[in-house]
Structure 1
């Protein structure tokens, strides 16, 4: 069990996680009770569920915490936005090393099937079946900078402004923190004059394919990084289909997947 926990949560990742997880009260005022399960074991169980795609009830007992404990810890951390803070800490570490490339960022989205719940809707690309959509912006190196979710029938253009605003101020190798890309590439789904003006007002150059004028494939040599990152998110099998009724828990799994992608970049 110890070997599996250390493989899923290496020492470097555990030290970064300890910086963002809120402190917990270990002692019970009334005394007695069982010993509280360790956060590292619970984190390993959460990562196992995220990457394997199993249900919480299928969680193997080898991690130590029972599945209700792991699920309860996941919900508490999700409400405290631990996953978003962990992702930001990883981006700060990468930015301080000069491993974030802001020169040419890209934006895209991907739809997944979903049960009923908030931020779900009929997917026009999946015979109208209920689904959700994951939106993301990546740097030139494919690292996810900003994430969001919406109903599957939400137009991609509606996600551009929230995603750009959602890029956190990230440390730089030299100089102040940065949160705006130098250039943003996008396909025809973002071809609207007001979006072009909005980006220009913020000093962000853009390369957006024009409807009826050019093919989105011409941007493939620059947008392939975001497509690769979308495939990397699919490596988190819990994102193949949305089972969570609460949107915040589905967004939490998206954040876990983004944090794992950034951690692999940090340790390579």
Structure 2
């Protein structure tokens, strides 16, 4: 992420925080705008062009998305007026803004847990993962498939986020998409997500102790997402954002092989 994008994203998040009564519909409109921008290279290029005045870009995006609600319209104008490091990062910024708007309008706790649960289900079903993650197929049909699969099983907020992600992967794997969305939702609620990979299930007491230890280290509440992977053999691998602590047996064996080979 470029420095211009970091600044633009901070401005956009501040504008979202200033909005009163943000609704699920606002978030859905922003996600729809992100998909539209992803499919329009020319519009993306103009909006990301630093040589074009922000006021002109604001008028352009307002005209392009004239049918969105007032809240989404104001936020898109802020995005257009800001300077972004690239057109791709502008799209990612609108997507993040949409996910944050949805998380702020609903119970973030339930969204996080539902995202984790759906991610595990998809990861354990190769056929479903292929159907949702393949570059082939109609994006809208994938969105409808998600809505059908989650009907009555997940909140409208979680369904909206997942339906968007499968329609607009932009070269990302489905598991990566869900993990990113969960981190955004957690950050909106002031929390961090720790992905813990282990060969065997952790007890509730172990999860609680690990969460407390990580919270003390990072100074924020940490939500634990446990991923079972027999291939790690033993020990655990903990990832918080870009930081990884790998204490698995498989990792140690790999290190030993490298040492022996050297």
Q: State the TM-score, normalizing by the size of structure 1.
A: 0.28
Q: More helix by proportion, 1 or 2?
A: 2
Q: State the TM-score, normalizing by the size of structure 2.
A: 0.29
Q: Which has the higher contact order (CA 8 A, sep 6+)?
A: 1
Q: More strand by proportion, 1 or 2?
A: 1
